[in-house]
Structure 1
Amino acid sequence: MLTRRTDLAVEAEALAKTGRDAPAPEGVRVQEESREGCPVTRVEILDGRGEEALGKPVGTYVTVDLTGLVRREEEAFPRSCRALAGELSLLLRRCRVPEKAPVLVVGLGNRSITPDAVGPGAADHTLVTRHLIDQAPEHFGDFRPVAALAAGVLGTTGVESGELAQAVAGKVKPGCVIAVDALAARSLDRICATVQLSDTGIVPGSGVGNHRFALNAETLGVPVIAVGVPTVVDGATLALDILEEVGRDDLDPAALRGVGGSLMVTPRDIDQRVKDMAKVIGFGIDLALHPRLSVEDVELFLS
């Protein structure tokens, strides 16, 4: 059987259920709430049963719905930034990262390919302070030391992004690494409208099926919080969902096996969507790491 491809735990959980109103699979706990007016879904994979059902490692996966940002609702940008900051702060505490511990933000992806550029874009909007704390302690002495890295990709640097992040982490010695990357979703409605945060690390290139060196606690020696944004949908998965929406759910998924396997679909306005998401993620990280700052403060520092 052809399985619908998704990197989002919230979609994997929905696919694993026997029906729309059925309970979560065994070993999985789901909680829905709201933060700053943004719907938040928390999927916890508790044990091996949950791993098998969702195809993801044990851990917490938080999905923040930023549809209001896509719709350009009033105050959507600052609310989205604060919502992400709040959820990221919870994960930092869950991972027992000390409040003043240095943090390394790694933006994964390729700047030259728009759907893969959200990681480097988020790194550009990260408020880096590690060098300023020593150079200007009177202004930045109370800030958390933060460094940012746009790792590039193997095809342009000749170095695995994970290996580069490992080397930099060995020098910076952070208390935590925050890795930002592009993901694949099942639904077009989630493209650049959803952010997934997890405490399980990330595998660069997983969004387009190009799995590389993993960034996680085992490889880097410190907690790794992954921030992922779906920017593409697998072609065969999209075809199946469209057919179901028009009432053709009787189609044997095996008929699409091997068709469109290398095709990834993305909206025509992906350029602006990626820019928007990169900024809101960068600002969300800044607010989480420097909780005394406001959105306006971050805008001023980065301008």
Structure 2
Amino acid sequence: MLQYRTDLAMEVHELLCAKSRAQTLSGVDSRTVFRRGCSVTSVRIDTEGAARQLGKPRGRYVTLDLSPLQKNADDLLERASRAVGAELRALLGENVKSVLVAGLGNASMTPDAIGPRSAEHVLVTRHLRQNGAFSAFCSVSVLTPGVLGRTGIEAMETLRGTVRAVQPDAVIAIDALASRSLMRLCSTVQLSDTGIVPGSGVGNHRCPLSRDTLGVPVYAIGVPTVVDAATLTLDVLEEAGKSDVDPAALRGHETVIVTTRDIDAQIRELARVIGYGIDLALQPLDFSELCALMG
């Protein structure tokens, strides 16, 4: 299973089930439903044994396949934002009244820019709560901590200090992920209640963001924007009936990352979907009111 590189819990579960010829794994509850025009797959890891087997922390991972919605560009933003917002709201529960949103990644590297770009579309309200018109709103702060190579500071360190100052009920972290399949690039959103490791999508793992490191629950929103070239090659060879290839022979000395040719347009579109989805999950607004506020 480790020959395939992916950050999506549903893909790891699929690979392990295929390897063991089972429908599901012990300690894992997986189910797929069709809601709001797209398929929603929930993978809940219940035991430490299952967590070790999947290489993921215990918790819930919800993956939305937005590809059916992307076939109609006219109302894509509204329908996709509503779908993301509804699943995020269900994951957060009713007791979250203040949130720090962290847009992780390198804004100058397009496949890694989904975090900072999405943060631009999140409605910031912490400084407005004393205004009567916003008293019923969730208190939202936004931070884009940048990357270690530009700041010299780990995202976890920046966020830990901000959490101490702002004291949110939860952190929502947005970052790029890697998928094993080209078909899932920029058409899939994974939500989880287990935190996140910044940079995992582009092979640059940093200090994890979790309840243990930040002191509050950390919810993650990830969008697969890249595929590892060796993983992609293995997938293609497997489809061609050639499964006896040594994965190590494909990797060579350098990691090669593949993305789509229209990644700029895809990131712009998905950043609005993620940002608006967060807004709809947190605030007492409908889509038209949100568009009016965000311009």
TM superposition score normalised by structure 1 = 0.93
Give, in whole Å, the separation in 2 of the partners of 1:201 and 1:38.
24
Q: 1:253 aligns with which of 230, 240, 247?
A: 247
Residue 234 (structure 1) shift: 0.4
Residue 152 of structure 1 aligns to a residue whose secondary structure is coil
Structure 1, unaligned stretches of length 5 or more? none
Deviates more, 1:226-235 or 1:157-166: 157-166
Residue 19 (structure 1) shift: 5.6
Q: 1:260 to 1:293 in 2, by over 3 A?
A: farther
- Indicate the RMSD between aligned Cα atoms, in angstroms: 1.7
Residue 53 (structure 1) shift: 2.2
Mapped contact 1:14–1:20 kept (Cα < 8 A): no
Give, in whole Å, the separation in 2 of the partners of 1:20 and 1:213.
32
Residue 4 (structure 1) aligns with: 4
- Say whether residues 1:268 and 2:265 are aligned partners: no
Q: Aligned AA for 1:62?
A: V
**1:176-215 mapped onto 2 (5 Å cutoff):** 176-215=170-209
Residue 77 (structure 1) shift: 2.1
What is the number of residues matched between the two proteins? 295
Residue 228 (structure 1) aligns with: 222
Deviates more, 1:5-14 or 1:28-37: 28-37
Give, in whole Å, the separation in 2 of the partners of 1:191 and 1:260.
25
Q: 2:288 aligns with which of 290, 293, 296?
A: 296
**Identity of matched residues, %:** 51
Give, in whole Å, the separation in 1 of the partners of 2:278 and 2:178.
22
Residue 28 (structure 1) aligns with: 28
Give, in whole Å, the separation in 1 of the partners of 2:253 and 2:44.
32
Q: 1:20 to 1:34 in 2, by over 3 A?
A: farther
Residue 133 (structure 1) shift: 1.5
Residue 260 (structure 1) shift: 6.7
Residue 216 (structure 1) aligns with: 210
Residue 200 of structure 1 aligns to a residue whose secondary structure is coil
Give, in whole Å, the separation in 2 of the partners of 1:2 and 1:91.
29
Q: Aligned AA for 2:282?
A: L
Q: Aligned AA for 1:129?
A: T
- Say whether residues 1:106 and 2:98 are aligned partners: no
Residue 251 (structure 1) shift: 2.6
Structure 2, unaligned stretches of length 5 or more? none
Mapped contact 2:38–2:69 kept (Cα < 8 A): no
- For residues 133-165 of structure 1, give each alpha carbon's deviation from its aligned partner in whole angstroms, at most 9, with x where no partner exists: 22xx13212211100111111111121111111
Residue 17 of structure 1 aligns to a residue whose secondary structure is helix
Q: Aligned AA for 1:275?
A: R
Deviates more, 1:205-214 or 1:71-80: 71-80
Residue 251 of structure 1 aligns to a residue whose secondary structure is coil
Give, in whole Å, the separation in 2 of the partners of 1:193 and 1:283.
16
Residue 223 of structure 2 aligns to a residue whose secondary structure is strand
Residue 142 (structure 1) aligns with: 136
Q: Aligned AA for 1:239?
A: T
- For residues 199-250 of structure 1, give each alpha carbon's deviation from its aligned partner in whole angstroms, at most 9, with x where no partner exists: 0001111112211121110111111000000000001000111112223223
Residue 261 (structure 1) shift: 4.5
